[in-house]
Amino acid sequence: MPSIRIANAPCSWGVLEFDLEGKAAGYAQVLDEMAASGYQGTELGDWGFMPTDPPVLRQELDRRGLALLGAFVPVALANPEAHDEGVVTALRAARLLAAAGESPFLVLADDNGKVDERTRNAGRVRPEQGLNSEQWKTFARGANHIARAVYDETGLRTVFHHHCAGYVETPAEIERFLELTDPDRIGLCFDTGHYTYGGGGALEGLKTHWDRIWHVHFKDCHPLVAAEARAQEWDYFAAVQHGVFCELGKGSVDFPAIVQELRARNYEGWIVVEQDVLPGMGTPLDSARRNRAYLQSLGL
């Protein structure tokens, strides 16, 4: 049977790339609790959250038995002036990953939560609120440029993380992005929760985009909270604050079917649990334990 390993990410402890109020736990506590909950790996989190000196970072991970398997790098890809700076930022993370990680991915994303219209309408965006044809070309050109630079210097592959409150949220937008980007250099980081809140069915999305999926994030989406968010016109952060991304098995994502599909397709890689919470929100350790127990009940 193919080997699937389970990781978690700092965002489950409220460590997010956004400039938000509230205080999240420090990296030592997060890594301790991650390991204590039974996870085998982590992603890097926002730059500077964990040590950025490779030997120090490697030592911190090794003593907890954790692998480093990705780094999330947001870039405002619709803005051509952001591309060169995006290369610099991505290479900074990629060099650290290459030195301290285990077959890691550079997880590229839009600079989510920064465009007011998309942030206010996350989970219910309309086609006219998206990119036009020229903007799509710019967006894809930037992604390709960054992914090729990362591969040429470090040998690491790039996956793109579709994400609510960004320009690649809906199933149609994900499809368009994949059509315009280099399939040899950019894969998809498939996130079950963002795909669901963005208007799709996670199992269907997994099947549709299988040939481009290189990395998988497990996130659930609470249907009642999502419906309330749409009815009340909450922005992305209000939806997260109200728990739209709930513990695994408590939302609408059909994880038993998704696990079955991954096994049927001989997926060999990591599944990263992400239960996005705002800084200081919830009880991350308890949630991490319950999420791990839920996956164990599915044979993972």
Average pLDDT across each block of 10 residues of the chain; the chain has 300 residues. List them in order: 86 70 76 97 92 96 96 97 98 95 90 96 96 98 98 97 98 98 97 98 98 98 97 95 95 98 95 86 89 97
pLDDT value of position 18: 47
* CA-closest candidate to residue 65, choices 9, 106, 25, 7: 7
Element (H, E) at 191: strand 186-191
Q: Which residue stretches of 155-191 are H helix?
A: 171-180
pLDDT value of position 105: 94
pTM above 0.85?
yes
Residue 109 in tokens: 């994303």
Residue 65 in tokens: 């038995």
What is the CATH T-level fold of the domain 4-297, as seen in this structure?
A: TIM Barrel (3.20.20)
DSSP letter at 160 equals: E
Angle at 79 between CA 73 and CA 85, to 5 degrees: 50
Cα separation, 300 vs 292, whole angstroms: 9
The domain segmentation of the chain, as residue ranges, is 4-297
- The Cβ-side half-sphere exposure at 60, using a 13 Å CA radius, reads 22
The single-letter code of the amino acid at 50 is M
pLDDT value of position 20: 47
Cα separation, 97 vs 151, whole angstroms: 12
pLDDT value of position 24: 62
For residues 71 and 43, is the Cβ–Cβ distance under 8 A? yes
